Amino acid sequence: MPISAARRIAFDVLQRVEAEGAYASDVLHAELGPNVKPADAGLATELTMGVLRWRRLVDFLLERQLKKAVERLDLPVAIALRMGIYQLRFLGKIPARAAVNESVELVKRARKVSAAALVNAVLRRAAGEANVPAEKLLAPDLPPAERLGILHSHASWMVERWLARLGQARTIALLEANNRAPRLSCALHDAEHRGDIIAELERGGLRVEPGRLLNAAIAVSGGSPARTEAFRAGKVSIQDEASQAIPLLLGVRPGDRVLDLCAAPGGKTPALVRAAGGNGLIVAADRHAHRVRAMRAQFERLGLPGAHLMELDGAGALPFRIEFDRILVDAPCSGTGTLARHPEIRWRLHPEQFSEFHELQSRMLQAALAQLAPGGRLVYSTCSLEPEENEDVVADILRQNRGGIRLVPPGELAQTLAPYLAPGVAAPELFDDAGQFRTFPGDHLTDGFFAAAFERI
């Protein structure tokens, strides 16, 4: 029996994600070239992301039939089983026969022929309870974090943290948001030709809606913007709306000297370049050479001259002899605000890493502040929901720099952002009392972002 292109692609991507630590979105982007039919691209994406989002529940259902842990299986066998049961449980339009048979063929293709009978038997048994609510299959005495962790497919320690901080209702809303395919948002790079760009995307078969937060953002569905001429010509970029908002908080002015310290993959830098204009100075840095190369390719697609790209470790003393008027530190973080977009993070992250990220973020922020000009503004941001990486870092920096810096007041930050917001969005609602910008996946249909702005006194 031939294996469909969609299942073959999904299987290969999932193997790379597990074996190499790759990100599914990056590998899918590379695999889903112009020769892949849109229907196959859609199913490959659904299978890949669905298996990653629902892996814990899928493994729970598999282990009912296996009588042992899925992790004890050879990786190709585990992936074929996960793909099969995901189709049986979540993709009702796919015939059970196809889900089972093609999973068996995937195992044979991976040269695990001896496991074909096991895959066939396990999936056929699992098909018999595919319509039984998962809640009915759980032991009645499970602790709340364990129960929610299985039902919503997150690590129990993660659920336990959120329950303690957010409460049950908000935690469940977050878990549900993390298991939905994220809204596919784009940044428009030429606001004056907004109508023409949207028409071009629609001619490419996409459905286009206005952004929910920003007036220069749109949301698309029905295909990939990366396959369109508008994308290739640099008129749009794929970027979450909360991510688009972060560089706007800097309030860059024409002629400003701007440092983007953790710039790769380059999504936030274009807004800084345009705001600073031809007389400004933009330095975009990243510690990894391959990410700097990718950023250069991104800027070439956008036709974006004027940014000085450099390889730089931002965690140590910075090599600049000048001070900057504006600095963006979009710091490396756990990414817990992006679990819908990058579901593999929930299986890789460990709780002890939060303190490691905290230390790194504090070092980067302290190094960047040393380059901030008097009266200048620095925006520190993460795509994390965790206090260790957000407000705790801010509190540490304020203690270490007592008297030298201040947080930009929330009213002032809201005023900076207000001109860019979509109709009906009130800027103050995006900030807490301390002036910190926050988005929450369950509330805003965006990734979960945090940002705080400092000013050199």
Q: What residue spans define the domains of the chain?
A: 5-137, 140-178, 184-238, 241-456
pTM: 0.94
Which of 186, 262, 333, 383 does the annotation list as catalytic?
383
The CATH code of domain 184-238 reads 3.30.70.1170
Q: What is the DSSP string of 311-380?
A: E--TTS----SS-EEEEEEE-----GGGTTT-TTHHHH--TTHHHHHHHHHHHHHHHHHTTEEEEEEEEE
Rounded to whole angstroms, how far apart are CA atoms 222 and 303?
27
Tokens of 410: 């929330």
Count of other CB atoms within 10 angstroms of residue 158 = 22
Whether 52 contacts 24, CB under 8 Å: yes
Rounded to whole angstroms, how far apart are CA atoms 49 and 28?
10
**Can you give the length of the chain in residues?**
457
Tens of pLDDT, residues 177-202: 999 999 999 999 988 889 999 999 99
Whether 451 contacts 408, CB under 8 Å: no
Residue with tokens 């800084």: 272
Q: Is 333 a catalytic residue?
A: no
Tens of pLDDT, residues 427-438: 999 998 888 999
Q: Which CATH architecture group holds 241-456?
A: 3-Layer(aba) Sandwich (3.40)
| Topology given in CATH for the domain delimited by 5-137 | N-utilizing Substance Protein B Homolog; Chain A (1.10.940)
Q: Tens place of pLDDT for every residue, the chain, 457 residues? A: 689 999 999 999 999 999 999 999 999 989 998 899 989 999 999 999 999 999 999 999 999 999 889 999 999 999 999 999 999 999 989 999 999 999 999 999 999 999 999 999 999 999 999 999 999 999 999 999 999 999 999 999 999 999 999 999 999 999 999 999 999 999 999 888 899 999 999 998 899 999 999 999 999 999 889 888 999 999 999 999 999 999 999 999 999 999 999 999 999 999 999 999 999 999 999 999 999 999 999 999 999 888 999 999 999 899 999 999 999 999 999 999 999 999 999 999 999 999 999 999 999 999 999 999 999 999 999 999 999 999 999 999 999 998 889 999 999 999 999 999 999 999 999 998 888 999 999 888 999 999 999 999 9
